[in-house]
Every structure is written in structure tokens, then in C-alpha cells.
Amino acid sequence: MLFLGFSAGLPFLLVFSTLNARLADVGVETATIGFFSWLGITYSIKVFWAPVVDRLKLPLLDRLLGKRRSWIIFAQAGIATGLYLMAHVDATAAPEMMALCGLLVAFSSATQDVAIDAYRIEIAEERLQAALAATYIFGYRLALLVAGAGALYLAEFWSWQVSYEVMAALVGVGALTVLIVREPSVNHFAAAQDIAHKIEQEAAKRTHLNPRLARLVGWFYAAVAGPFLDFFRRYKELALVILLMVAVYRISDIAMGVMANPFYLDFMGFSKTQVADVTKIFGFFMTIAGSLVGGVMVVRYGVRRILLLGAIMTAATNLLFVVLAQYPPNIITLAAVVSADNLSGGIANVALIAWLSSMTSASFTATQYALFSSLMTLPGKFLGGFSGIVVAGFGYAEFFLVSAVMGIPAVLLAIFMIRNGHRLDALAPRNELKPDAESGSRSD
């Protein structure tokens, strides 16, 4: 998971901030650079093609590697190809071609995320999910350093072409990992095949479709509707509460993060170098520490208790920013507050990933987790768009206080999840994560 996390994190900045730096460096107009941010939409809508990753077997690759590994390496091929093409495209002469190559990287990267998330959930039982998530986050963060600072150093000392060629070559880390690791021994098709068979029968009976078309209707329904039907049938009235918990858990963290850098630079008056040193160095190590601590605590105390702890810590650290805004700038105080913020974020993130992983069905792992991962960032990003209005109208201290209050629903819902733990455990689908004894096949 360390190396797969590295593979997942590597493309992210290469189509975002690193790409923006490259475009600005070669003289692309600011308005054009802004349009490139639309590449990020692919990460938010990956749930729409996650059913394909769940249901479709890739020709030849599936037979050689199994379903999850075949999709991961297929996506990695798209990432490496896109990055290599971006290395050789002149962004000033052909910005449209650069955008298309960036879209190939972003789409392939989002697809890889779907497949790796499914692989992580299926490769080990629930009690190890927090440890796997912590290791994954560590690899992901290392990749962000390589694709951020590393790519900029390569561009400074050599060229942007060399920089992106090296990044394309580093995709081989993930590809080699896929070839070495084993495929999860999970029956992916049990529930989905039942749904597909029933729909196939009804389609043939009521609409007089030919058998081939009826099978296609059954497959499509199982792939698209099956994951959502399975989730709502399993959890019943708790399903909406679970989705609400997923939606609000990171609102406080994400909304606050939008105004963090303007607060450091404009309000507190820290230099760019000071902010970079504190947020990148302290932020990196404290996030990793939080992830590792969170992983150990989940194994020791259970995921729902640490989910509650993470929600409380996230809201509480926002209050530290309220205190920070009351005093003159002090680099030591800033480092302490940023460290606490990143530590709590690491713990909360690991707990959330482990909790979401425990609720996915083996028959629809990729699609259900893609739904969760899209939902857990969308509300925070939406509300974060209004953060500037709150700061302009009331001030930074008041904004951080509001962002802390926004964390209260997550705390209350975490308490609800603890109190209903026995019901959730009884409905949990993790008992499906076992080898298919009848077929003995890795991919079936």
C-alpha cells in the first residue's frame, strides 16, 4: 500500500499546481491557466464510471492479473502515456493538446484511485484497514513531494520536458508493485449476479427482448443500480444517516483550509518562505504522525471511537486558529497550531477511510467506495466557496469559530454511530470478503 499510495499521489499535482506553474513559466495567459483547473472535475465525478471498474473484465489483462490489478495497471498505462505526451507538448503553441493530455492523466488517475481503493478494502479484513489506510496516505504524501517540489527542481535544473519524462518513468513504481502483489481472493459477483439474473428474466418476460439484449440490460442494471440498491437494502433507515455522516465529517476541515493561506500571509503577515516551511515540513510530518497514530488507535480501540475522537479534534483545532488570530505573529505558535491541525486531520482521515471501507459490499467495492469518497469532499468544497464572504464580512476569528461550529454535526453523528454500533455490525458486509470456494478463481 505504500507504493500504491505513491502511485496514486504522483499524478495529482502534475495536472494541478505543478502544471499551473509550468504554464505560467512558459508564458501561457492567466485566463487560459484557469481553465486547466477543470481537469480536477474528473476526481469528483469518478463515481459515474466506477461501476465499469466493478463489473467489466479487461480482455487478456483480467486473465493474467485478476480484476483489481488489471484495472490498476491499465490506468497506470494511461497515466504514463499522458505524462510522456505532456512532456513533449508545447503548451504555448498547443494549449488544447496539453489540456487533452492532462485530461488523459486526470481520468486515468481517478480510475486508478477507484481500483486501488477497492484493492485495499478487499486485500485484508476490517481490523487492518486503518493500518493500510495510514500506509497508503504516507505513500501518497511522499508522491506529492516528488510531484511538487521534485518536479519543480527538475524543471529548474534541466527542463519541463525532463521533469515530466521522469514523472512518467516513476509510474513504473506502481506498475512493478502491481506485478508483484497478489490479487484479492474475493467473490465480487455474488450479489451482482443475482440482481443481473432477475432483471434479465424480467426484461425478457415483459418486453420480449432477445436473450442477448436482456443480458445486457441485466448487466447494466446490476452495474449501475446494484451498488446503491445493495447499500440501501442493507442499512435501511440507517443508510441516510450514514451518508449524512460521510457528507458532514470533513466539512469543518475542508472549509477552514480554503482560508488558511490568506490568513497566514495577509492577516498574520508571515512570509511565503515561513508559511512554506511550517505548512510543508511540519504539516507533512504531523499528518504522517497523525495517520500512523490513528491507524494504531483504530486497531486498539475500534474505528467508531476514533471516528468520534477525530471529529472532536478537528473542530477543536479550528478554535486554536481563533486564539492565533488574537495575538501578534509568532512562528513558534504558528508551528504548534499547524502541527495540531495536521495531527488531528491525519487521525480523522484514517478513521474515516477505515470506517467507509468496512461498509462496502464485496460485490460493489469500487462503486460504493467511490460514492463515499466523492460525497465526503463535495459539501466541504461547496461551502468553502463562501468562506471569503464570511471573512470579508466578519473577520478571520469569526470565520474559524463558524468552521469549528460546523464540526458539531459530525461529533453528534459519530456518537449516534457508537450507540448504534451493534446494529451496524450486524448489517456490515465484511463477511463477504472471503475466497470463492466453489470457483477457486482469483478474478471471479
Between 111-125, 163-177, 186-200, the lowest mean confidence (pLDDT) is in 186-200
Domains 1-180 and 236-427 share a fold: yes
Write out pLDDT tens, residues 59-73.
888 888 888 899 999
Q: Mean of the pLDDT values across residues 324-337?
A: 87
> What Å distances lie between residue 390 and 106, 259, 328, 370, CA to CA?
32, 10, 22, 31
Confidence of residue 432 (pLDDT cuts 50, 70, 90): very low
Structural domain spans, the chain: 1-180, 189-226, 236-427
Whether residue 105 contacts residue 79, with contact meaning beta carbons closer than 8 Å, is answered with yes
Q: What is the pLDDT of residues 211-227, one digit of tens each?
A: 666 566 665 666 666 67
CATH for 236-427? 1.20.1250.20
**Residues whose CB is less than 8 angstroms from the CB of residue 314 and which lie 6 or more positions away in sequence, other chains included:** 250, 252, 253, 344, 345, 348, 407, 410
* Contact in structure between 361 and 227 (CB atoms under 8 Å): yes
Binned at pLDDT 50, 70 and 90, residue 441 comes out as: very low
Could you identify the residue written with the cell 440490460?
217
pLDDT > 90? residue 276 = no
* Residue 37 or residue 113, greater confidence: 113
Tell me 420's DSSP state. Answer: T
**Which three cell numbers mark 135?**
500506509
Contact (Cβ atoms closer than 8 angstroms) between residue 79 and residue 108:
yes
On whether the CB atoms of residues 444 and 187 are closer than 8 A, the answer is yes
Compute the average pLDDT of residues 38-66: 81
DSSP structure class, residue 432: G
Residue with cell 458486509: 429
C-alpha cell at 306: 476514533
Contact by Cβ (8 Å): 143, 1? no
Half-sphere exposure of 169 (CA within 13 A, CB side): 7
Which three cell numbers mark 372? 463515499
Name the residue with higher pLDDT: 233 or 78.
78
Q: Is the pLDDT of residue 190 over 60?
A: no
Q: Look at 283-287, 353-357, 401-405, 434-438 and tell me which has the smallest mean pLDDT.
A: 434-438
Q: What are the CA-CA distances from residue 409 to residues 60, 99, 103, 273, 414 (Å)?
A: 48, 40, 36, 36, 8
Of 114-128, 134-148, 303-317, 375-389, which gets the smallest average pLDDT?
375-389
0.75 exceeded by pTM: no
Q: Please report the pLDDT score of residue 236 as a whole number.
A: 81
Q: How far apart are CA 201 and CA 207, in angstroms?
A: 10
User: Nearest Cα to 65, choosing from 160, 184, 166, 154?
Assistant: 184
Cβ 358 vs Cβ 430: under 8 Å:
yes
Query: Residue 356: which of 260, 235, 255 has the closest Cα?
Result: 235
Which H/E stretch holds residue 98? Answer: helix 95-123
Given the C-alpha cell 505524462, which residue does it identify? 83
User: Which residue shows C-alpha cell 440498491?
Assistant: 229
Distance, CA of 19 to CA of 151 (rounded, Å): 10
pLDDT tens string 128-157: 777 888 888 889 988 988 888 788 888 888
Q: What is the pLDDT of residue 405?
A: 92
Indicate the pLDDT class of residue 207, thresholds 50, 70 and 90: low
Architecture of domain 1-180 in CATH? Up-down Bundle (1.20)
